[in-house]
C-alpha cells in the first residue's frame, strides 16, 4: 500500500467532522470551547499590554526629546583672578557656533536658567525660567512653531511664554500679566533683595508632559540675563541632535567644542534609569502574560483527551481500514491546532482593535468610573497611548501558536498509539 502524504485532504476532512459533531456524538467538548475563549483572551491581553507599553514608551521619549535638550552643555566653573568661583560661559556666542559645527548637531542655544515664584491675583506657583532667544525657541519641536499652543510666538520678545499647566492653575491666558519673583535679585548696600517684575503672557504651549507644562516659563534671553544678574554670561547650552539615540557617541566632541571647563548631560543620563525600568517591566509583563497563554493552551489537552476517549471506536475502525499511526496523530493534531489557530486569530483581532480604538474605549472607562482614572500628575503624560508594532503582534502570535501546537502533540500521540483491538473489543 502506497504511503499517503502528510496532512492529506482526508485527514482534514475527518478532523473537521469531529470538530463540528454535536456533543452527544462525541464532538467538541465544553473544555475545547473554554480553551478557545481562554486563548482568545490571553492573546488579546498580551497584544493590548504590549501595545500600551510601546505607546507609553514612545510618548514618554517623544516628550523628552521634543521639549528638552538632547544634550546639555554646562560649565564646571573656573576661578577668577580675585579668587571667586564663576560658573557659566562668557563667550557664549562663539561656543554656540562651535557646538553647532559638531557633525550631527542641529541647534545649539545658549540658556539662562533660574527658579522663581509666579503670582497672578491670589494664586501663586513655583516655576523654572529658561532664558532663550526667539529663533531657538521656535526650533524646539513641542514648544515652538507647529506645537500645540496658542498666542503669537513672534511677540515672545515682548513678554514671556508659559506652559498650559501654569496658565490653568493661575487662571491666566494670552495678554494677561504674571509677576515673577526671584529670591536673589536686586543688589543693594544691605545685600540682595527679591526682584519682582511683571511680564505679559504672549504664548501658551502644551508640551505633552505634566511636569513641563506645570513648571516651565520661557523668557527672552537678554531679559533673563538682566533679571537673574547674569549679564555677559550664559548658564548652559541646549543642544539638539539629528540622532538622539546615538547621543552618547557625541558626548566627547561636544565636550571638546564647549571648552576646557565644559561638561555634558544627555537625555539618557536624565531619563535612562526610568527607561531601563520600563524595559524590565515590559519583559516581566511579557513573561506573566505568556504564562496566561500557556494556561489557556493547556485546556486544549483536556478537550483533546475527552475527544480521544469518545472517539475510541472510530480510531479502531480507522486503524483497521488502513490508516497509520501518523495519520491518526495528524487528525487529532489538526483538531487541537484548529482551536489554537482560531483563538489566536480572534485574540489578534481584538488586541489590534483595542490598540486602534483605545481613545474612545478609555473615554468610556473614564466616564463609567466617574473620571480621574488617569492622573497626569502621577504618570507624566495626559492620556493612555497605544502603539501597534509588528514585532509585538508577531511575538504574541508565535508564542500562542507554538504553545498550542506543542501541547496538542501529547494527546494526539495517545490517540495514535491506541491499540485497535482494545478499542473494538467491547463494541
Q: Where are the domains of the chain?
A: 9-62+274-424, 77-260
**Quick one: which of 223, 232, 184, 185 has its CA closest to 202?**
223
The answer to whether 163 touches 215, Cβ cutoff 8 Å, is yes
Q: What per-residue confidence (pLDDT) applies to 411?
A: 80
For the chain (427 residues), the mean pLDDT of every run of 10, in chain order, is 64 76 55 83 91 86 85 80 72 92 93 93 90 93 87 94 93 93 68 82 91 92 91 92 89 90 89 82 86 84 74 71 77 84 93 90 78 64 81 92 87 74 55
* Exposed/middle/buried for residue 139 (C-beta within 10 Å: 0-12, 13-18, 19+): middle
The b/e string for 175-202 (b: 16+ C-beta within 10 A; e otherwise) is: ebebebebeebeeeeeeeeebebebebb
Half-sphere exposure of 86 (CA within 13 A, CB side): 15
Full-model pTM: 0.75
Q: What per-residue confidence (pLDDT) applies to 344?
A: 93
Report CA Rg, the chain. Answer: 33
Q: What per-residue confidence (pLDDT) applies to 210?
A: 84
Q: What per-residue confidence (pLDDT) applies to 185?
A: 64
- How many Å from the N-terminal Cα to the C-terminal Cα in the chain? 28
Q: Name the one residue in this structure whose C-alpha cell is 497584544.
A: 47
The answer to whether 170 touches 121, Cβ cutoff 8 Å, is yes
Q: Pairing mode, if any, of strands 191-206 and 78-79?
A: unpaired
Q: What per-residue confidence (pLDDT) applies to 421?
A: 58
Q: How far apart are CA 254 and CA 257, in angstroms?
A: 5
Provide the greatest CA pair distance for the chain: 113
Half-sphere exposure of 167 (CA within 13 A, CB side): 22
Helices (H), 130-203: 134-138, 164-170
Amino acid at each position: 500500500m502506497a504511503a499517503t502524504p502528510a496532512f492529506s485532504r482526508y485527514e482534514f476532512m475527518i478532523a473537521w467532522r469531529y470538530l463540528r459533531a454535536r456533543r452527544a456524538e462525541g464532538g467538541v467538548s465544553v473544555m475545547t470551547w473554554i480553551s478557545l475563549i481562554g486563548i482568545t483572551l490571553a492573546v488579546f491581553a498580551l497584544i493590548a499590554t504590549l501595545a500600551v507599553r510601546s505607546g507609553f514608551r514612545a510618548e514618554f521619549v517623544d516628550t523628552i526629546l521634543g521639549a528638552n535638550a538632547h544634550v546639555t552643555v554646562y560649565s564646571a566653573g573656573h576661578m577668577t583672578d580675585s579668587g571667586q568661583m564663576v560658573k557659566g560661559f562668557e563667550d557664549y556666542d562663539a561656543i554656540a557656533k562651535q557646538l553647532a559645527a559638531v557633525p550631527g548637531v542641529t541647534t545649539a542655544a545658549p540658556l539662562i536658567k533660574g527658579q522663581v515664584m509666579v503670582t497672578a491675583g491670589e494664586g501663586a506657583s513655583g516655576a523654572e525660567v529658561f532664558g532663550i532667544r526667539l529663533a531657538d525657541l521656535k526650533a524646539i519641536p513641542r514648544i515652538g512653531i507647529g506645537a500645540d499652543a496658542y498666542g503669537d510666538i513672534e511677540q515672545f520678545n515682548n513678554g514671556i511664554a508659559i506652559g498650559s499647566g501654569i496658565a490653568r492653575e493661575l487662571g491666566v491666558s494670552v495678554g494677561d500679566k504674571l509677576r515673577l519673583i526671584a529670591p536673589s535679585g536686586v543688589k543693594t548696600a544691605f545685600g540682595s533683595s527679591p526682584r519682582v517684575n511683571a511680564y505679559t503672557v504672549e504664548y501658551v504651549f502644551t508640551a505633552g508632559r505634566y511636569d513641563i507644562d506645570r513648571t516651565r516659563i520661557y523668557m527672552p534671553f537678554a531679559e533673563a540675563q538682566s533679571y537673574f544678574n547674569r549679564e555677559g554670561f550664559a548658564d548652559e547650552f541646549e543642544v539638539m541632535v539629528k540622532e538622539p539615540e546615538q547621543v552618547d557617541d557625541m558626548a566627547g566632541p561636544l565636550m571638546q567644542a564647549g571648552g576646557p571647563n565644559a561638561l555634558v548631560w544627555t537625555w539618557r543620563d536624565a531619563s535612562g534609569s526610568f527607561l531601563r525600568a520600563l524595559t524590565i517591566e515590559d519583559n516581566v509583563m511579557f513573561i506573566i502574560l505568556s504564562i496566561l497563554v500557556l494556561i489557556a493552551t493547556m485546556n486544549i489537552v483536556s478537550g483533546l483527551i475527552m475527544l480521544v476517549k469518545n472517539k475510541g471506536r472510530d480510531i479502531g475502525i480507522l486503524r483497521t481500514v488502513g490508516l497509520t499511526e501518523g495519520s491518526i496523530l495528524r487528525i487529532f493534531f489538526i483538531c487541537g491546532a484548529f482551536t489554537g489557530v482560531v483563538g489566536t486569530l480572534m485574540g489578534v483581532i481584538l488586541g489590534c482593535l483595542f490598540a486602534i480604538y483605545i481613545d474612545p474605549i478609555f473615554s468610556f472607562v473614564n466616564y463609567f468610573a466617574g473620571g480621574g482614572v488617569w492622573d497626569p500628575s502621577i504618570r507624566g503624560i495626559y492620556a493612555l497611548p497605544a502603539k501597534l508594532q509588528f514585532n509585538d503582534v508577531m511575538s504574541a502570535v508565535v508564542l500562542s501558536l507554538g504553545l498550542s501546537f506543542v501541547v496538542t502533540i501529547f494527546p494526539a500521540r495517545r490517540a495514535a498509539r491506541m491499540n485497535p483491538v482494545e478499542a473494538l473489543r467491547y463494541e
